[in-house]
Amino acid sequence: MSSLNNKQILLGVTGGIAAYKSAELIRRLQDFGASVRVVMTPAAQEFITPLTLQALSGNPVHTQMLDPEAEAAMGHIELARWADLVLIAPATADFIARLVQGQGNDLLTTLCLASDAPMAIAPAMNQAMWRTESTQSNISTLTQRKVAIFGPASGSQACGDVGPGRMLEASDIALAAEKLFTPGTLAGKKLVITAGPTREAIDPVRYISNHSSGKMGYAIAQAAIEAGASCTLISGPTNIEPPRGAKVINVTSALDMHTASLSEAEQSDIFIASAAVADYRPLAIAEQKIKKANSDTMTIELTKNPDIVADVAAMKNKPFTVGFAAETQDLESYAKDKLKRKNLDLIVANDVSRTDIGFNSDNNAVSVFGPASTDIFSECSKHQLARLLIDLIAQKMPGH
């Protein structure tokens, strides 16, 4: 049974294009057994009608503070007390700023002031508005006040920009809300994860690397934080935002990642190696840019990089160690071989011959092998998969 079963959720809808997703969010919350009452700001009503949300929620939609009829049915203080969770989705930059200032100039901000219930917001705005210092500082303030921040996601926006600021999908918001009522499966645990590619320098301007975007590792880091773990993310070069709350160590080469990993893994409970680490690096890095020679071919001598995850698994106080296997053929046999050879507790095998999953895609599908177990996760978003992997790791850890 979902932890949202019988929970009473006050859904605040503010004025952004993502307000249309609030209709689906009501449904997803109801699927988990929650009752939903909706409060809309005047701007929200420009994007979606109260009638739509009333029909979906099965309850009258509250829009005004000074409405004798609405107050007679359920006064605003009563409404604030009714809520087990106040969830604002979408939350615009303007609403977030008013929330931070403690304003009470409309029904929704007044309810936020009057309610003792836990609060969560799903920000939705243009990427530049999201990145701006004032919004980021408002988000930090809300985080300090223990307001849960769901998202935002990154991608193309209604205005044509690309970047962070899109509201999370309704199903992801409902899952995040569910997690708020579930004691974290990794509460009190320290988790270290490697993510992204490494770059192995050839000369000052060239390097050897691969197509890893970091999406898989960053999603796992976020899921681990949601599950209550403290998380250190050791990341190769990526273009994505790290999850809020992670300690981020940026590295470039496999040697840098090796040093950071061994040091951070020392005191950790769990180590996950999702990075696509270069197996080899140039034996020597040219000091100056290598000039084109007369010959049509060129040879670069490579030397083996240390195996980071194997070295962590060989530590005296070995954390629960999870590796990944990126294979283009014989997935199961190669993955099981790595599990054994690298002394891992689990290995997550993905088929990287497919372009729609694995490297640099938003989705993945994996098989997870342990010394005596197989768990198969069919294709889903990397964020959904990350939560499933974290649940599996929590179950498999000793002492569970």
Which one, of 76, 58, 63, lies nearest residue 15 by Cα?
63
**What is the DSSP secondary structure assignment for residue 160, as one 8-state letter?**
S
What whole-number distance in Å separates Cα of residue 237 and Cα of residue 247?
16
**Binds ligand PMT by CB under 6 A, chosen from 29, 80, 275, 331:** 275
Query: Is 273 among the residues that bind ligand PMT (CB under 6 A)?
Result: yes
Which one, of 312, 308, 329, 332, lies nearest residue 321 by Cα?
312
Please provide the DSSP assignment of 173-201 as one string: HHHHHHHHTS--TTTT-EEEEEESB--EE
Sign of the alpha-carbon dihedral angle for 297, 298, 301, 302? negative
Task: State the catalytic residue, choosing from 112, 159, 231, 380.
Answer: 159
Nearest distance from residue 275's CB to ligand PMT, in Å?
A: 5
Nearest distance from residue 278's CB to ligand PMT, in Å?
A: 7
What whole-number distance in Å separates Cα of residue 213 and Cα of residue 14?
33
Nearest distance from residue 213's CB to ligand PMT, in Å?
A: 3
* # of chain residues touching ligand PMT (CB under 6 A): 28
**Element containing residue 206 per DSSP (H, E):** strand 206-208
What whole-number distance in Å separates Cα of residue 133 and Cα of residue 139?
10
326-335 long-range contacts, CB within 8 A, separation 24+? 326/276, 326/350, 326/352, 326/358, 326/359, 327/351, 327/352, 327/353, 328/352, 328/353, 329/353, 331/367, 332/367, 332/369, 335/367, 335/369
Binding span for ligand PMT by CB under 6 A among 92-100, 156-164, 262-270, 300-308? 300-308
Binding span for ligand PMT by CB under 6 A among 114-122, 131-139, 157-165, 305-313? 305-313
Nearer to ligand PMT, 22 or 194 (CB): 194
Query: Is 200 among the residues that bind ligand PMT (CB under 6 A)?
Result: no
Binding span for ligand PMT by CB under 6 A among 63-71, 104-112, 210-218, 283-291? 210-218
Query: Is 126 among the residues that bind ligand PMT (CB under 6 A)?
Result: no
Query: Is 309 among the residues that bind ligand PMT (CB under 6 A)?
Result: yes
**Binds ligand PMT by CB under 6 A, chosen from 34, 87, 192, 276:** 276
What whole-number distance in Å separates Cα of residue 143 and Cα of residue 269?
25
The dihedral over CA atoms of 352, 151, 82, 43, expressed in degrees to the nearest 10, equals -130
Binding span for ligand PMT by CB under 6 A among 52-60, 76-84, 113-121, 324-332? 324-332
Nearer to ligand PMT, 90 or 358 (CB): 358
Phi, psi of 84 (to 5 degrees): -90, -25
Which one, of 87, 83, 70, lies nearest residue 21 by Cα?
87
Nearest distance from residue 203's CB to ligand PMT, in Å?
A: 22
Q: Where are the alpha helices (DSSP H) in 132-253?
A: 133-144, 170-180, 215-226
- Of 65-124, which residues contact ligand PMT (CB under 6 A)? none
**Binds ligand PMT by CB under 6 A, chosen from 249, 277, 346, 385:** 277
Nearest distance from residue 231's CB to ligand PMT, in Å?
A: 16
Binding mask 212-251 for ligand PMT (x = CB under 6 A): xxxxx-----------------------------------
**Binds ligand PMT by CB under 6 A, chosen from 326, 331, 389, 392:** 326
- Is 159 known to be catalytic? yes
Nearer to ligand PMT, 153 or 308 (CB): 308
Query: Is 324 among the residues that bind ligand PMT (CB under 6 A)?
Result: yes
**Element containing residue 37 per DSSP (H, E):** strand 35-40
What whole-number distance in Å separates Cα of residue 71 and Cα of residue 48?
23
Nearer to ligand PMT, 71 or 391 (CB): 391
Nearest distance from residue 388's CB to ligand PMT, in Å?
A: 14
Binding span for ligand PMT by CB under 6 A among 23-31, 32-40, 286-294, 350-358? 350-358
Burial letters 341-358, b for 16+ CB under 10 A, else e: ebebbbbbbbbbeeeebb
- What are the distances in angstroms from CA 268 to CA 20, 275, 339? 43, 18, 20
Using CB under 6 A, list all residues that contact ligand PMT: 194, 196, 212-216, 254, 273-277, 279, 305, 307-309, 323-326, 338, 350, 352, 358-360
Catalytic residues: 159
